[in-house]
Amino acid sequence: MTIIEIKNLTVNYKTNKGYVSALDNISLEIERGTVTGLVGESGSGKTTLGLALLRILPPAATIKSGEIIVDGVDILKLKEDEMVDLRGKKISMVFQGAMNYLNPLINIEEQVAEPLIIHENITKKEAIRIARDKLALVGLDENVWRRYPHELSGGMRQRVVIAMAIVTSPDILIADEPTTALDVLTQARIIKLIKSLQKEFNLTTIIISHDLPMVSEIADDIIVMYGGKICEIGRNEEILANAKHPYTKGLLASIPDPKTPKEIVGIPGEPISLLNPPSGCRFYSRCPSARETCKTYEYERYTVGDGHVVLCNLYEGSEDECC
């Protein structure tokens, strides 16, 4: 069952040099209780999409058009006080850089309890009790509860913000680069934690990351973005084994595999400027398979498998048309 449906969403940022098209006519669906990986390099629009789902875009951003339907309700039509009720209660977010989102003057258990006090109208004592339960659930024992953020390691702080995000028992969890700046072992533990919480609470989870190997370890579905556009959507195993879009193929080719002696190949060129994006396919200037008709491509969707959609002119009319 679909819990999130985004239709024709366009988000612009106002800058000193003009308007940046961070999201351009994005449409997608996310099924309830699944893990969706949102993948792409910096500037692809991933974080903007996450912030739009909570309607917490920065002041310079404008939602130019579109719909964001959550459980049948277009949240773009809600009043701000209605969004306050939804934000943190139905949809929670683990933001990138845990230390930046923790108050250095408030101890851990009180910070985790705060969303409960805001949304559940319960006493501080009861909120602290629930907060302690959630902290224990994410692997932080009573030795941590009354400590302060600066006393914790990066991995412990990340567990704290995850506890804050789930303390109100939301339906949807968005995690923006949840393993950034963590060592490899800690990254693995955080990913394992998110997956276990998703299974236990049937959380609809969106993982935003540039790290495709990490996303592939946890996601049921993968959405690949480039230049404010969606390139490809599919099941995890389908994307990894049968990628169609040249950008997705490029991402996979750039990932080292210790099990095979494959050559590591980077994607040539530089990301496009979203101040004045080119017409047609935004990956055209970097695409090894580009052809003249790509310059006028309007991002039609082509189904190339069960639940596998590619937005690429090379597949017009036939899934076998391209290399």
pLDDT tens digits for 255-303? 887 777 778 888 999 889 899 888 999 999 999 999 999 999 999 999 9
pLDDT at 181 (0 to 100): 80
156 pLDDT tier (thresholds 50, 70, 90)? very high
Binned at pLDDT 50, 70 and 90, residue 29 comes out as very high
201 lies in a domain?
A: yes
> In terms of residue numbers, what domain contains 297?
2-90+170-315
pTM of the model: 0.93
Is residue 252 included in any domain, yes or no?
yes
268 and 144 in a single domain? The answer is: no
| Residues 231/191/117/109 CA torsion (nearest 10 deg) | -150
Q: Is 258 part of a structural domain of the chain? A: yes
Q: Is the pLDDT of residue 319 over 80?
A: no
Q: What is the predicted pLDDT for the residue at 165?
A: 95
Tell me the pLDDT tens digit for each residue of 161-183: 999 999 999 999 999 999 888 88
Co-location of 217 and 305 in the same domain: yes
pLDDT in the model for residue 323: 36
- Report the CATH number at residue 61: 3.40.50.300
Please indicate, yes or no, whether residues 51 and 62 belong to a single structural domain of this protein: yes
Report the pLDDT value the prediction gives residue 128, as an integer from 0 to 100. 97
Q: What is the pLDDT of residue 238?
A: 96
Residue ending a domain, choose from 126, 148, 169: 169
The structural domain count of the chain equals: 2
Does 36 lie in the same domain as 122?
no
**Residue 122: pLDDT over 80:** yes
Single out the residue in 141, 169, 197 at which a domain terminates.
169
Residue 187 has pLDDT above 60, yes or no: yes
Q: Which pLDDT score, from 0 to 100, does residue 80 have?
A: 93
Domain contains 25: yes
Domain membership of residue 199 (yes or no) is yes
pLDDT of residue 96: 83
User: Do 251 and 212 form a contact (C-beta atoms < 8 A)?
Assistant: yes
Q: What is the pLDDT of residues 206-229, one digit of tens each?
A: 999 999 999 999 999 999 999 999
As a whole number, mean pLDDT of residues 133-145 equals: 96
Q: Please write the tens of the pLDDT for every residue from 2-26.
A: 999 999 999 999 999 999 999 999 9
* pLDDT for 322: 41
Both 262 and 126 in one domain: the answer is: no
Arithmetic mean of pLDDT over the chain = 93
Q: What's residue 177's pLDDT?
A: 93
- State which of 129, 145, 169 marks the end of a domain: 169
pLDDT at 66 over 60: yes
Is 322 part of any domain?
no
